[in-house]
Amino acid sequence: MKILLIKMSSMGDLFHTFPALTDLKAHHPDAEIDWLVEESFAEIAAWHPAVNRVIPINLRQWMKHKRREDLRAFKAWRHELQQKQYDLVLDAQGLLKSAVITRFANASESHGYHTDSAREAIASWFYQVKHHVNKDEHAVLRTRKLFASTFGYPLEESFRFGIQEHFTGGSADSKQLIFIPGSSWRTKLWSLEAWQGLTVLATEQGYQVEIIWGSDDERQMADCIATSHPQAWRSAERQSITRVAEKLVSAAGVVGMDTGFSHLSGALETPTVALYGPTSPTKVGLIGDHTVNMTLTPALPCMPCHKRQCRFLPADSAETPPCMKDIDPSHVWQALQEKMS
């Protein structure tokens, strides 16, 4: 069976799709799966052993600029896509943009979420076969159920992301921790003092800490955290996602925010604690016995607000939001120790 999977973004959404791919390959080992994904995430999609070919698309760029050359590039891409005949195309994203792409595929059948299940109800209009999946369930389970309904196999309770074996360059280091303090949302950030306190707790127990950074602000934060103990450091240069993955899979444990690298750590089945404040882990949090989604307890009445700006702080404030500020480093360290053990 030749299958075209459409799940174009984002980083976390791709990680949430891996268990469904593992399920599908287990029940249909002869399936030939091509994955259509945004070009910036093509590297990630190729990690899963069930993927036969990754088909990159620059849809974000084409829709953003809408220049004449973008239209020509899209037409050339569409022509190339239609050269291969598929038995089935599955839209696992459930958005209007992803549903439209199913119409360009040269496939005998198109499948996707039903109107009451899709993230954008209008998307279901584009599919020949529509599947009911509870919108209130975790994204990993939703995607697994969509695949199971589409390809006709029973869903087992246990699951695996299936990408850990891709990174077999090194063995797990029992004394190496990874901290991921950065986020594109200011409201998701933990305080510098809290990170420093956690670093002291970890290094006093004989652990070494590497701090992952991706922007200039995150590099400065990493420098400030590293000053709390000589056994903590950051890399001199910004690292590729593959290089970060290699470090995450070999680490004894990871602490991060609600961000892509934390989800990657969870997908690599490394003991991971992710801190949540303005967002909720209920539907898209880390999943698995090796992970903890930690929030302030008891929760504030405003949680989760899903806002990039805290309404209790001035617009230009660099102060940590109340929902993140009061998460105790000692509680985080205890949770990580429990998962590492």
Which residue ranges make up each domain of the chain? 2-164, 172-340
Q: How far is CA 131 from the centre of its chain?
A: 24
Q: Cα(332)–Cα(277) distance, rounded to whole angstroms?
A: 14
d(CA 299, CA 71): 48
Phi, psi torsion values for 338, nearest 5 degrees = -60, -40
pLDDT tens-place string over residues 10-47: 899 999 999 999 999 999 999 999 999 999 999 999 99
For residue 206, give both structure tokens: 């004989």
d(CA 261, CA 306): 19
CATH of 172-340, picked from 2.40.50.140, 3.75.10.10, 3.40.50.2000, 3.40.190.10, is 3.40.50.2000
Both tokens of 309, joined, read: 């700006």
Instruction: Give the separation between CA 135 and CA 146, rounded to whole angstroms.
Output: 11
Where do we find the tokens 């600029």?
65
Residue with tokens 């209130």: 136
pLDDT of residue 71: 84
- Note the CATH number of domain 2-164: 3.40.50.2000
- What torsion, rounded to 10 degrees, do the Cα atoms 282, 286, 287, 292 define? -90
Assess contact for 282 and 138: CB atoms under 8 A.
yes
Number of H helices, E strands in the chain: 12, 12
**88-127 pLDDT, tens digit each:** 999 999 999 999 999 999 999 999 999 999 999 999 999 9
Question: Could you list the pLDDT tens digit for every one of the 341 residues in the chain?
Answer: 999 999 999 899 999 999 999 999 999 999 999 999 999 999 999 999 999 999 999 987 777 777 888 889 889 999 999 999 999 999 999 999 999 999 999 999 999 999 999 999 999 999 999 999 999 999 999 999 999 999 999 999 999 999 998 986 555 668 999 999 999 999 999 999 999 999 999 999 999 999 999 999 999 999 999 987 889 999 999 999 999 999 999 999 999 999 999 999 999 999 999 999 999 999 999 999 999 999 999 999 999 999 999 999 998 888 999 999 999 999 999 999 999 98
> Cα-atom radius of gyration of the chain, to the nearest Å?
21
Structure tokens at 106: 């040269």
